[in-house]
Structure formats: structure tokens, C-alpha cells
Amino acid sequence: MAGILDFLDDETKNRRTKKFEERFSNSDEGAKRKLEKEMLKPEKLKHYTGPKPRAQTLADRSVKIVFPDDESIELLKKHFRVSKHVENSIAHPELLISFLEKLESGEITYDKKTGQINFCHCEGSAPLGAGK
Amino acid sequence: MQGNKGLEVSNCSYNSPRISSEIPDCSMPLTFDHYNYCSLGCTYCFAYFFKTNNPAIKDHDLKSVNTTNLIAALKGKAKNAHGKLFYKHFYKRKFLLHWGGLADPFCNFEKKNQIGLPLLHTLGELNYPTLFSFKGDAIFEKPYMEVFEKYADQRNFAFQVSIITWDAELAKVTEIGVPSPQRRIDAIRELSTMGYWTILRLRPYIIGITDKHIETLLKKALDAGVNAVSMEFFAMDGRANIGMKTRYDWLAKILHVEGGAKGLQKHFHALSPSERGGYMRLNRLVKEPYVKTVYKFCVDNGLIFACSDPDFKELNMSGSCCGMPDKYPPNKLLENWTRNQLTYHLKEARKKYHRTGEKAKLLFGEVYGDESYFDERKLSQDHPSVVGMDCSSRVNLTQRLILQRQWNNLRSPANPRNYLHGQVMPINELDKDGNLIFEYSPSEYEKYWGDEGIDLSI
């Protein structure tokens, strides 16, 4: 069959199981265990040298934020439940996502110079925080 | 189990079914036990090793599931979140229930308490596909046999009976308190006679014990009407506690390995591929002659050969390594296990290779496909990998993300290359989503067996 021999070029394999069977034929069980250990050790797998996977992981979806002062973090804690399990984290960021979506859609704008948030009172726009 | 107070159930707070952590290559990840422990004392029991090393288990009281709640959930009337979730993803579409994952459904706990009986009736009434995995003989009791006789024409039940040796004396000292192999063959015969799909569960195959009378055991199972044989070799847990040491000392003696538990550990360490981590499984060279005997027997006698072991997993004749059929005309619900797992795709790759010479490529998206439970966040919370995770990561974790992480991490023992120890190998390209692509990589035995006239294209 085409292709079936192409993996057998490695002479070092040379059918160790057959040699083991020949040597084992007259041995007792204890000797067989020793022979197994001696003759049938596994080979190491070939090292992979191809491209590194770049599929998104959970870590790719997380970001660390350090707040500049105590007041800011306290404000965050008022609006989000911060878990201290293993490390500080927010399990339910829906309010933040809703805010970002409104920012993205232009329903609210943020002026970096003044730090002011401006609301666009478009007809039919939902109130802040009602996105999800 | 150390500290167990006896056969009485203390409460019904045990949470099951659950998603099996063997989900990467398991056809029936909906796994169920109705007690938290098993009354049988098998020295090789992997559930014992897991449970005695689980720091979350703080007491040893016998607990059962709440069958009232479970029956309501099966009928789509769950009142709790767990039941609703499992109905949505599994019960609603009658996904095959595997009863007997970490305990025996018909052990002495059931004989005494009969908690599983109303559930059995419900599964029969609902024509719910269920595979039982057992050794216990409560199944012979009249109320149980009556249920199975009642639904025999419906054939929604299937049975796996675990037997590791035909030698009753050897079994008695290896499987404490377990009915004899002959009694278990009787169970296969009775259930087969009723018309049910039955499987000889040759697990764990222990080299030094199981091979002694394997031909007789296979012949007896065949005569009793078995449809399939499923095998997996004994694996040694690298962790240690006093209970495990006692068991390993005993096993070392039976297996003629010098040095007790320590000697057994050295033996397994030397012969197990290091890429698979601390759960030591002997390499395929050691297992080859034993697999060949069972595989040939199945081919010669028209049985389904199934192999749950990562080595020789490619030889499965169905996509279920428990030995469930691909096609089952008497009740198609018994075909309702998932093909979105590695066993099915590896089997297909082996068949393709021996029929066409082509080495199939395995892509993450094709292997794991579209299963709703892969993306349900709440269904990943039982997975061992959540230990040590911060709350935010844990809440957003899904089974698909766990599978993908293992798929792409070549240092993980669960990575397909490592777990199957080279039977699939990554090629030098990624898929469109940036995942590794694996390719079928035939082992040397595939050439030798073919030369001997063994058909590997089934």
C-alpha cells in the first residue's frame, strides 16, 4: 500500500517487540518484568519546530488595571463586585462593556483634555448601563 | 473507603451527573453516579486514587443524589439551576447517559438503599438511552431484573460489565468484595438474552493478571452473547498516600515486580512516556501483544473492538471507546453519543490511512465541532483546571477554551501529540484560527500486523 512503508526507515526501531518476545519465551513473570524494563523503554517524541499557535486564549481577554489612587479604586468597588479569590478580579464587567459600547457608537463622548463626558441625546437611545 | 460509616446513606446532596474530565476523547461525557462512593474494593480503582487525593472531600459519609430532583430534570421540570442546565444541553435531546463513572451502580450500597430504582423506572418510561458500567450483583435482584425485562423490546439500555481475569481466586484477592468473574459473565448472558447491547469491559487490563486467562475470558464472554470488548491498561497515579501505597504493594507482589510500591513506581516510570505527565501509562511497545490478541479475537468473531487506552485508540471500530455501536437500528437513541471528540476522528484517520494511504489532518474546529455544552460557562466549573484560577477567569472559562488550551500546548500531558504519544503529530502550519494542526502518524505495528494479515481498515 502506498505510504505504509515511509515511516519505517528508522532502523533503530527494528521491531523491538519481536526481539522481546524471542527473549521472553522461556522466562518467568519476574524476569519478564525486568526484560520489559530493559528492552521496551519508550522513545522521546520528536521536537516540534513549526510556528507557535496564535489562537486566542482566556489570557488574551484579560487586562490588568492599576488605579492611580484610593478614591478611584473605591469608586470601582462601589459599582463592581471585586473578588479577592487568588487575585483581585471582576467577574461581571457588563456595566463596563455597556459603557464602552456607548463610547464606540458615539452615544457618549469623552474629552481627554478636560476629562468631561458628553451625552448625545439621540432619539431612542438607551440610558447608560442598559446595553447588556 | 477509610472512615466510611457503613451502608446507610446520610443525605442526598451528592451532585451528579457531571461533565467528565475525559471530555477530549470521550463519546459519553455525561457521566453519572448516584452514590459518592462504591462498596467494592478493587485494588486498582482509579476513582479511589482520585478521591483519596481530592482535598475537597472532607468527610466520608455515604451520600446519594436527590432522585426526585433528577427525575424532574430528566422530564424538563427541574427547579434547580443544575437540572435546568443539564436538561438544556443533554436530557432534552436524549444524550446518552453513562451511569457508573466513579462508582458502581449495582454495588452493595444500592442493594441496601435501592435509591437508583425509581430512576431506572423513569429512564425506561422516557426511553432514555443509558449505558451502565458495573460489576455489582444488585442487578440480579428481582426489582431490577423486572425493569430490564419490561423495557427489553425498547432496548434503550446497554451494559458494560468489567472483568479483568477469568481466574476466580486471583479476582477474589484483587477485587475485594466483588462478585466472581463467572457471576459477571452470568449478568452478560442474562442481559444479552433479553436482547440488550452488552460489552465486556476489559479494564483495567493488568499485564501479569489479565493476560493469564485472556483467551478463556474472551471465549466465555462471546458465548454469553457480548457485542463488544472495550479495553484500557492499568495506569499508575504518580501521587501517593498510605492507602495507595498499600494497594500498590499488593499489586507489585501479584505482578512480580520487586520492591513493592516503590518498585512498581520505578517500573512504571521507566516504561511510561514522560510526555504524558504523572499519570503513568505504559508505552505502546509493552502493550502491543496483548492488544493484538484482543483485536484479532474481535475481528475473527465479528465483535466491536474498542480501546479507551490512549495507545491503540486508533483501532477503535466505532467512535465510542466504550464500545457503543455507531449504528443501532433497534433503538437509534443508543447512537446518541458525541462524535465531536478525538477518539472518533482518530479512528477515522486510521481507517483512511489503511484504505487510501492518506494521512488525515486533524483540525481543532472539525474535531470538536458544534456542541452546545462546550460553550456553556457554568459547565466548566467542575473541571480540575479551575483550581487556582481567579474568579474572573473561572467565570469566563468554557470546556472549549480548556480543550483549545490543551490542543495548542505541547507541554500539556493532555495535548493530542503527548496523550496519544506520537500517533498524531503537529505539522508545520496552523489553521485559520491559529491552532496547531495534527496529522495521523502510523505506528510501526501497523505495518507488521498488516503483513500478518490482520485487517486494520475496519
A16 C-beta neighbours (distance < 10 Å), count = 16
Q: What is chain B's pLDDT, residue by residue, as a tens digit (458 residues)?
A: 444 557 889 899 999 999 999 999 999 999 999 999 999 999 999 888 888 888 777 777 899 999 999 999 999 999 999 999 999 999 999 999 999 999 999 999 999 999 999 999 999 999 999 999 999 999 999 999 999 999 999 999 999 999 999 999 999 999 999 999 999 999 999 999 999 999 999 999 999 999 999 999 999 999 999 999 999 999 999 888 898 999 999 999 999 999 999 999 999 999 999 999 999 999 999 999 999 999 999 999 999 999 999 999 999 999 999 999 999 999 999 999 999 999 999 999 999 999 999 999 999 999 999 999 999 999 998 888 898 999 999 999 999 999 999 999 999 999 999 999 999 999 999 999 999 999 999 999 999 999 999 999 99
> Residue B335 belongs to a domain with what CATH number?
3.20.20.70
Neighboring chain A residues of B445 at a CB cutoff of 8 Å? 17
Residue with cell 462508582: B103
Q: Are residues B90 and B213 in the same domain?
A: yes
Task: Indicate whether B48 belongs to any domain.
Answer: yes
Which helix (DSSP H) or strand (DSSP E) does residue B404 occupy? Answer: helix B399-408
CA dihedral B229, B235, B240, B243 (to 10 degrees): 30
Three-state secondary structure of B312-380: CHHHCCCCCCCCCCCCCCCCHHHHCCCCCCHHHHHHHHHHHHHHHCCCCEECHHHHHCCCHHHHCHHHH
Q: Are residues B311 and B390 in the same domain?
A: no
Task: Indicate whether B352 belongs to any domain.
Answer: no
Q: What is the rounded CA–CA span in Å between residue B392 and residue A83?
A: 8
Q: Are residues B399 and B435 in the same domain?
A: yes
Note if the bond before A51 is cis, omega within 30 degrees.
Answer: no
What's the number of domains chain B is made of? 2
Q: Are residues B83 and B122 in the same domain?
A: yes
Q: What is the rounded CA–CA span in Å between residue B195 and residue B189?
A: 10
> How confident is the model at residue B53, as a pLDDT?
83
| A-chain residue closest to B386, CA distance | A86
Task: Tell me the pairing of strands B436-440 and B361-362.
Answer: antiparallel
C-alpha grid cell for residue B335? 447512537
Q: Are residues B90 and B159 in the same domain?
A: yes
- Give the DSSP letter of residue A93: -
- Given CB atoms, is A19 within the 8 Å cutoff of chain B? no
Task: Calculate how close chain A gets to B258, using CA atoms only, in Å.
Answer: 8
Residue with cell 521536537: A47
Among candidates A2, A46, A86 on the partner chain, residue whose Cβ is nearest the Cβ of B388:
A86
C-alpha grid cell for residue B175? 477485587
Residue with cell 522466562: A27
Task: Calculate how close chain A gets to B257, using CA atoms only, in Å.
Answer: 6
Angle between helix axes B67-74 and B81-89 (nearest 10 degrees) is 40
| CA dihedral over A102, A107, A112, A115, signed as positive or negative | negative
- Given CB atoms, is B401 within the 8 Å cutoff of chain A? yes
Residue with cell 462601589: A78
Task: Indicate whether B387 belongs to any domain.
Answer: yes
In B265-294, the residues whose Cβ lies within 8 Å of chain A are 267, 270-275, 283, 285-286, 288-289
In B128-157, the residues whose Cβ lies within 8 Å of chain A are none
Domain region containing B435 = 360-441
Q: Are residues B315 and B367 in the same domain?
A: no
Task: Indicate whether B172 belongs to any domain.
Answer: yes
In B207-236, the residues whose Cβ lies within 8 Å of chain A are 208
Q: Are residues B145 and B229 in the same domain?
A: yes
Residue A32, C-beta contacts closer than 8 angstroms, at least 6 positions apart: A24, B256
Q: What is the rounded CA–CA span in Å between residue B33 and residue B17?
A: 7
Residue A39, C-beta contacts closer than 8 angstroms, at least 6 positions apart: A16, A19, A20, A23
C-alpha grid cell for residue B263? 518498585
Q: Is the pLDDT score of A128 beyond 80?
A: no
Task: Calculate how close chain A gets to B353, using CA atoms only, in Å.
Answer: 8
At B332, which amino acid appears? K
Q: Are residues B327 and B374 in the same domain?
A: no
Instruction: Give chain A's radius of gyration (CA, Å).
Output: 32
Query: What are the Cα distances from residue B77, in Å, to B58, B95, B242, B354?
Result: 32, 17, 45, 49
Q: 3-class SS at B131?
A: strand
Q: Are residues B191 and B300 in the same domain?
A: yes
Contact A37 B272 (CB under 8 A): no
Task: Indicate whether B248 belongs to any domain.
Answer: no
Task: Indicate whether B395 belongs to any domain.
Answer: yes
At A4, which amino acid appears? I
Among candidates B359, B404, B447 on the partner chain, residue whose Cβ is nearest the Cβ of A5:
B447
Task: Indicate whether B133 belongs to any domain.
Answer: yes
Q: So what's the ipTM on this one? A: 0.86
Q: Are residues B332 and B384 in the same domain?
A: no
Give the pTM: 0.92
Answer yes or no: are the C-beta atoms of B380 and B347 closer than 8 Å: no
Task: Indicate whether B413 belongs to any domain.
Answer: yes
Q: 3-class SS at A86?
A: coil
